[in-house]
Amino acid sequence: MDTLLVVDDDLGIQKQLKWSFSDYDVIFADDRQSAIAQLRRFEPKVVTLDLGLPPDPANASEGLEALAEILNLAPQTKVIVVTGNNDKENALKAIQLGAYDFYQKPIDSDTIRILVSRAMTLFDLEQENRQLSQSQPAMGKIIGSSESIQQASRRAEKIAQTDISTLLLGESGTGKEVFARSIHDLSARRNKPFVAINCASIPENLLESELFGYEKGAFTGANKTTPGKIETAQGGTLFLDEIGDMPIGLQAKMLRFLQERVIERVGGRQEIPVDIRVVCATHRDLQAMVAEQSFREDLFYRVSEITIRIPPLRDRDSDVVLLARTFLAAYKDEYGSKVKGFSESAIEAMMKHRWPGNIRELQNKLKSAVILAEGNLIQADDLGLSPDAVGGMQNLNLREVREEAESRAIRQAWHLAEQNMSRTAELLGITRPTLYSLIDKYRMDDIKPSS
C-alpha cells in the first residue's frame, strides 16, 4: 500500500484525512521534527503539509522550513502544501521551493483525494523513469539491468578505448550491432564513420568488391573506380556482421588486411593504407567451423582478440519487461495508439516466452500488439503469447495458424484505420495491392472495397 504522510497539528483534520484515504497507509506528524522523523522512517511518496505549524501556527515560516527540509532529504517526494484561506503568497513561495501543488483550507475530501492520487501516479512514473535511466549503462543504447547484460556491457566499455579486434557472439536479434555501435561511440573514433556490412546478405561474388572496392574496368560493368566499405570506414570502425558467412576464398584477403592494414581494390595494384578498428559478429560457432575447416584458424584468432558474448533475451531476467516498456513508449507515439501499459498476464507471458528471435522478435510482437490492442492495456493475446491461443492451436497446422492470425490482424487494423484502406495497409506494413490480395485470399468480403 502506498504511504501518505499528513503533517498537520489539527486533530480534527488528521481524522478527516484518515477517513478520506482508506486506500493508503496514512501516517501523521504534528510538527516539523516529527514530520522529518516520519519521513526518514516511512519514506512516503506523498506528503500533505500544513504550512501553519507550531510553535507559530499563524505564520507559514515553520511550514516552509519543513518543506525545504523534506525536499532536501527526499527530493523525489511529492509535497502538497495546505495553506490558510487566501494565503496565495505563501502557496507560491512553497511552489517556488519545489512543492508539487498547493491546496487552500477548508479541506474538501474529494479534491484532496484527486490531488494525492495524481501525485502518487506522478511519483511512480518518475521513479520508473529513474530506474530506466539507471539501467542504461554508459553503453549508449543498451537497455537492461540483468547481471548478464551488465557484464557484457562492462566488458565492451573496457575494450572500447582500445583498438583490439573484438568478436561479438550471440543469437540473431540479441543486439550485436547495437553493441558494435556503442563500442564505436565510446571510442576515440566516435567522430569518424561507423560502417556496417553483413557478410551473409551479399552474394559471394559481390562481397569482395563491396568490401575492398574496385578500379574502373576491373570487371564488366565497373564503369568507374569505387572505394569499398573498408576505405569508407577510414579512421573509424568497420562492423563485419556474420563473419562466419565470409567465403573461404575471401578470408585470405581479409586476413592480409587485418594483419598489414593495407588493402588493394579489385583490379588495382596500389596498396592503400587503412586505419580502422574492426568489430566482427556471428551467431555461428566459429571454433567448430575452424575444426571442420570452413573458417581459417589464423583469421579466427585475428578477429577474436577479445570475445564478448551477448546473452539471449531469455537469459536476461526481467529485462524483457524493461525493453518492452521502452519500445511501447516509442511505438504508441509512432502509431498514435492510446495503449498505456501491459496487463499482468501479458507481463507473465513475456517472462515465460523463450524469445527465439530475441529483441527483434519482441519488437515485432510489440508493434503488432500496439496496433491490435483494443483496451488500455496490452494483453498476452495481443502479443500472440496467450497460453489459451497455444492450446487452441493444437488442432491447427502452421498454415491455418498463420491465416487465422493474418485475417484477424487485417480486420483489427481496418477498424483502427477507420476503414481507410491505405492506412490499413500502412498499419500492417504491407502495400495496398498485397492487402487487397490477402482480403481476396481470405474471402473477407465485408471489408472488400466496392469497385
Q: What are the C-alpha distances in Å from 380 to residues 260, 352, 393, 401, 428?
A: 54, 11, 15, 17, 19
Q: Write the DSSP string, 271-334.
A: -EE---EEEEEESS-HHHHHHTTSS-HHHHHHHTSEEEEPPPGGGSTTHHHHHHHHHHHHHHHH
Based on CB atoms, which residue is closest to ligand ATP, 149 or 254?
Answer: 149
Contact string 130-149 vs ligand ATP (x = CB under 6 A): -----------xxxx-----
φ, ψ at 101 (rounded to 5°): -160, 175
User: Which residues touch 109 (CB under 8 Å, ≥6 apart)?
Assistant: 16, 19, 20
Task: Looking at residues 254 to 293 of the shown chain, list those that interact with ligand ATP (rule: CB under 6 A).
Answer: 283
Q: Does 244 bind ligand ATP (CB under 6 A)?
A: no
Q: Does 7 bind ligand ATP (CB under 6 A)?
A: no
Contact 6, 17 (CB under 8 A): yes
Task: Looking at residues 162 to 201 of the shown chain, list those that interact with ligand ATP (rule: CB under 6 A).
Answer: 170, 172-178
Q: Does 245 bind ligand ATP (CB under 6 A)?
A: no
Q: How far is the CB of 201 from ligand ATP (least distance, A)?
A: 9
Task: Looking at residues 97 to 136 of the shown chain, list those that interact with ligand ATP (rule: CB under 6 A).
Answer: none
Q: Which stretch binds ligand ATP (CB under 6 A): 19-27, 64-72, 104-112, 358-366?
A: 358-366
Q: Write the DSSP string, 200-212.
A: TTS-HHHHHHHHH
Q: How far is the CB of 258 from ligand ATP (least distance, A)?
A: 21
Based on CB atoms, which residue is closest to ligand ATP, 137 or 236?
Answer: 137
Q: How far is the CB of 181 from ligand ATP (least distance, A)?
A: 8
DSSP 226: E
One-letter amino acid at 214 equals: Y
For the record, the C-alpha cell of 270 comes out as 596500389
Q: How far is the CB of 141 from ligand ATP (least distance, A)?
A: 5
Which residue's C-beta sits nearest to ligand ATP? 175
Q: How far is the CB of 283 from ligand ATP (least distance, A)?
A: 6
Based on CB atoms, which residue is closest to ligand ATP, 239 or 414?
Answer: 239
Task: Looking at residues 310 to 329 of the shown chain, list those that interact with ligand ATP (rule: CB under 6 A).
Answer: 323
User: Which residues touch 391 (CB under 8 Å, ≥6 apart)?
Assistant: none
Q: Which of 240, 359, 373, 413 binds ligand ATP (CB under 6 A)?
A: 359
Q: Does 211 bind ligand ATP (CB under 6 A)?
A: no
Q: Does 365 bind ligand ATP (CB under 6 A)?
A: no
H or E, element range at 134: helix 109-134
For the record, the C-alpha cell of 56 comes out as 507559530
168: helix, coil or strand?
strand
Give the interface with ligand ATP as residue ranges (CB under 6 A): 141-144, 170, 172-178, 241, 283, 323, 359-360, 363
